[in-house]
Amino acid sequence: MDKHVRRLARARALRLALLAALAWASPLGAQQVSIRDALPAVVAVLAIDAQGNPVGSGSGTIVAPTGAIVTNFHVVGSTETGRLYNPDGLVAIFMLRRSDEPARLVAFATVIEGNPSTDLALLQIVGNANGERIDPSRLSLPSLPLGDSDRLEVGDRITILGFPGTGTSLSATSYDNRFFVTLTDATVSGFDREGATRSWIRTTALIMGGNSGGTVLDQNGCLVGVPTASRVNPDRVEQMGYLRPINYVPASWLAGYPVDYCRASAAYGAGGGAQGGGGAPAPASRGVVFSGQIVDANTGRGIPGAYFAIAHSTWRPGMELREEHLASGAQTDASGYFQTTTPVVRGRSYYVIIAAEGYRPVFEEVHIADNLPDRFRFEQPLRLQR
């Protein structure tokens, strides 16, 4: 019994140490993204049927310069049936030139990921305004860095951007839909949780229909949420806006995309000291970032809130884990997926730490080979035993 208690105490201590050491990943006050800079990455999304007829509209946010767009599933399909409005998943994308002009049709995208239950979807631009196919790798579009929605607190100021569909013309032939962008200042009024994960951010700001799938920025201009729904609060007889936290987007969806993050960078040089402080993570070419899934060894289900950390070789199992020991790390999403944001240097040895509350932690010394790709994904799930 004493042995079991000691093991649980060690596991809990490690979890708390990892949580503290990963605190370096908080959004940076130094990395300010202005509203003017953010607007080009906010797009209007026009859903079309098989004949190209408009069937609805919403908003989205470009999260990678190669044309990946996060939006709501109900913008592109039915959350009740799970079916897309277009059998090929095609939607029309409108972008701004100026904030006082309507957004113009610039591209077509297709749905590459979607979850009707969470009401989230990921789009990829695949064609220009003329319907001609394009190579996404050649795109260099404005995009927004992802913040950490778990660090929002009640009372924090947020900004909601989107296209509430104030235009009046829906043309099946010219897509003459006049989308004008709007900005709404709001305040975080509360949260809903599902287990260990924040599932909703609540705000008293109304979410207009066309704003669905749009952009929620924190005070640093980092993307922290997706405007999704408005509901009536029966206790106060008022409407409440509900935003999906950006951390709710599965890390597996974004794996392989050149997504930027509003998190501290800790690239280590030959001397072992941190080089540089604030700013976005170092480019992947300066090292390796990792992604994968952590699952329960018995059930095979993803473990939400688990930790994947990479410690410098100066740390050893049994030592207290401090911030200076940590080279990189991430916490899993609701499905157990993770993606690190700070690259680790090739040609060095590290300790990989995999841990979750209620599970036996795993420690393994690894060497990062010189030929390892910039973005390495574990093909098999990483398993933890209770």
Domain boundaries, the chain: 2-19+263-384, 27-261
* The overall pTM is greater than 0.85: no
pLDDT recorded at residue 107:
94
Per-residue pLDDT 10s for the chain (386 aa) are 344 434 444 454 555 555 544 443 333 333 467 888 899 999 999 999 999 889 989 999 999 999 999 999 999 999 999 999 999 999 999 999 888 889 999 999 999 999 999 999 999 999 998 889 999 988 889 999 998 888 899 999 999 999 986 443 455 445 555 788 999 999 999 999 987 788 999 998 878 778 899 999 998 899 999 999 887 655 555 678 999 999 999 888 988 888 887 743 222 222 222 222 233 333 334 578 888 999 999 999 999 999 999 988 888 887 877 777 888 888 888 889 998 878 888 888 889 999 998 998 888 888 888 888 888 888 889 999 99
Write out the two tokens for 258: 């050149």
> Tens digits of per-residue pLDDT, 159-187?
999 998 644 345 544 555 578 899 999 99
**CA distances (Å), origin 288, targets 3, 19, 240, 284, 343:** 38, 22, 42, 6, 5
Fold type of domain 2-19+263-384: Immunoglobulin-like (2.60.40)
What CA–CA distance (Å, rounded) separates 85 from 274? 49
Neighbours of 337 (CB within 10 A): 24
Give the sign of the dihedral formed by CA 302, CA 304, CA 310, CA 311.
negative
Read off the pLDDT of residues 196-234 as tens digits, 9 standing for 90 and up: 788 999 998 878 778 899 999 998 899 999 999 887 655
Which residues, in sequence order, are bridge partners of residue 227? 243
Handedness of CA 327, 331, 336, 339 (dihedral sign): negative
Cβ atoms of 121 and 71 within 8 Å: the answer is yes
Pick the CATH number of 27-261 from 2.60.40.10, 2.60.260.20, 2.40.10.120, 3.30.565.10: 2.40.10.120
Q: What percent of the residues of the chain are helix, what percent strand, and what percent coil, each to the nearest 5?
A: 15, 40, 45
